[in-house]
Chain A
């Protein structure tokens, strides 16, 4: 593994890669800072730029955008109490309080330093856990892959949806879209309506651009007043970052980064959940928990280290098992597939020359993020002044180009528009779009696993087959736990409420 890392460093450190990483970080922070623009949207819109690049460069660009965007949300959260991405919602609590007390630049410095550690620690986790986990994935047979698909879907449904029924419906819609194309057993074309473009299934990237970018644009144009938000940057000046800012709260950084990495590994749990968990845990361990919420610098760090910890963590499950942990990695999966790369052990052996430079690129991205953030964060606050009508138009044009350029095919553009409108209708009615994406990706994996398991069982009970294999048994238990969690939570909260009322 050591040789691979050395090779990765050698291949990653070219001036082209460094330049592209720097550009990616800047674009990512810009996207993150814009309220309503998420990391997923940024990566989805920029994916077409990677078509013509070599795989290492393309992946480094996407990873840099990802890291930058997750951090970028904190800038507007701190300065304007408007989280640029949902991931920065926890940062806004204490960050904005600090701004009101005139300590905006201190909060911005804290956010970038904590984000840096979150990103670096999780990238290290990816480098250390990734390869052995990928080898372990070789032991996965059809039953395990089926259960992995089922587990991934249940967890995203229970975690993201406000209503369990609506979450389930979103997931089933995704699974049904996943059945379009040839079936895994007989290669019979299902729901293709004679369209040759649908034979290999619905193209993933256009569907993602539609669900995340186009639907977001439609939601944005309704609230175009946002563009007139005034940014007062006059009180941000006056404090130069010091070296000691980097190690102000080491324990908090490490704790939050580990939480972020772990949450990132779980399918469905995103950066916003990680940030709130990191914040809560820091509060629990703190000697002065009552100061949380009043503009505490450590609180900003706790939230930011956790949400950037998600970046590396979510890549662990993506690269080793092919299971995207959140919507950004779902799009990254599309980016991998365009380059002809398949997640799994192969990525760390046959394609080590691509994978390791990419992993090293993640460290580079975090270093650039630190530099850009430390010296330029307040400038990014100005992007919020860009009028929404211009942004909306550019996003649609980029989305159309991105969908078209994958296969030089207008049909993919229509697919994008279909999913854009569908996504908008779903989101305005309380349905989450993330389960749809996971359904499209996990559906074929799960179905293939199931049909092959039936063959494997040779007429015997398939349930027996699933229960007799240790990994699949663990996954079954995890699935049951994740399905039961919302009910347990509800029970727990209602009990707590009763207790509070009694007091």
Chain B
């Protein structure tokens, strides 16, 4: 956990420095506020880094860290969901709303638990019909059409 804090504080320092750097090209009056925020952010990130070192020293031999262990299986589920969702929204303008949603729903449910295939088909069909009906037809939202429909 504390190790993660170190990495995060370094990423934050880079991020806040970037915010400061980008603000240099703004007119002075528009730059003042984000510059100030970036400076406070950098200070906080440094404090977080120092804090993680202090805590490490204070309770150094700590084999029973409270951080719950994430199993490989769980990591797979999280990554699958994240990548699946990203692919879904990237492919939506290409494939169209209906096709991409059907593909996404069925495959994600199946990847997370490949058992009740029939249930997934029914859930997918009902969801897509409801969503398309309510938003596409009732509320007249112009959904991405894609190659087919």
Residues of A participating in the B interface, judged by any CB pair closer than 8 Å:
48-49, 51-52, 163, 165-166, 168-169, 172-173, 175-176, 179, 183, 185-186, 188, 190-191, 214, 217-218, 221-224, 387-390, 392-394, 396-398, 400-401, 404-405, 408, 410, 413-414, 417, 420-421, 424, 429-430, 447, 450-451
Determine the distance from Cα of A75 to Cα of B138 in the docked complex, in whole angstroms: 34
Determine the distance from Cα of A424 to Cα of B28 in the docked complex, in whole angstroms: 35
Cβ–Cβ < 8 Å partners of B19 in chain A: 176, 191
- With beta carbons under 8 angstroms apart, the residue of B8, B22, B92 that contacts A410 is B92
- With beta carbons under 8 angstroms apart, the residue of A48, A166, A186, A420 that contacts B48 is A166
**Contact between chains at A224 and B112 (CB < 8 Å):** yes
Query: Whose C-beta in chain A lies nearest to the C-beta of B41?
Result: A172
Residues facing A in B92-141 (CB within 8 A) are: 92-93, 101, 104-105, 108-109, 112-113, 116, 119-120, 123, 127, 131, 134-135, 138-141
Cβ–Cβ < 8 Å partners of A166 in chain B: 48
Determine the distance from Cα of A52 to Cα of B101 in the docked complex, in whole angstroms: 22
Residues facing A in B12-33 (CB within 8 A) are: 12, 16, 19, 22-23, 26-27, 29-30, 33
Q: Most chain-A Cβ atoms within 10 A of its Cβ — which of B5, B19, B34, B116?
A: B34
**Contact between chains at A447 and B113 (CB < 8 Å):** no
In the assembled complex, the CB of A390 is this many whole angstroms from the nearest CB of chain B, namely 6
Residues of B participating in the A interface, judged by any CB pair closer than 8 Å:
1, 4-5, 8, 12, 16, 19, 22-23, 26-27, 29-30, 33-34, 37-38, 40-41, 44-45, 47-48, 51, 70, 74-75, 77-78, 80-82, 85-86, 88-89, 92-93, 101, 104-105, 108-109, 112-113, 116, 119-120, 123, 127, 131, 134-135, 138-144
Cβ–Cβ < 8 Å partners of B23 in chain A: 190
Cβ–Cβ < 8 Å partners of B80 in chain A: 221
Contacts known (A222-B70, A393-B109); A404 close to B141, Cβ less than 8 A: yes
Contacts known (A393-B108, A405-B139, A405-B141); A185 close to B30, Cβ less than 8 A: yes
In the assembled complex, the CB of B22 is this many whole angstroms from the nearest CB of chain A, namely 6
Q: Most chain-B Cβ atoms within 10 A of its Cβ — which of A175, A176, A223, A389?
A: A389
- With beta carbons under 8 angstroms apart, the residue of B22, B47, B75, B113 that contacts A224 is B113
Cβ–Cβ < 8 Å partners of B22 in chain A: 191
Determine the distance from Cα of A82 to Cα of B108 in the docked complex, in whole angstroms: 26
**Contact between chains at B101 and A397 (CB < 8 Å):** yes
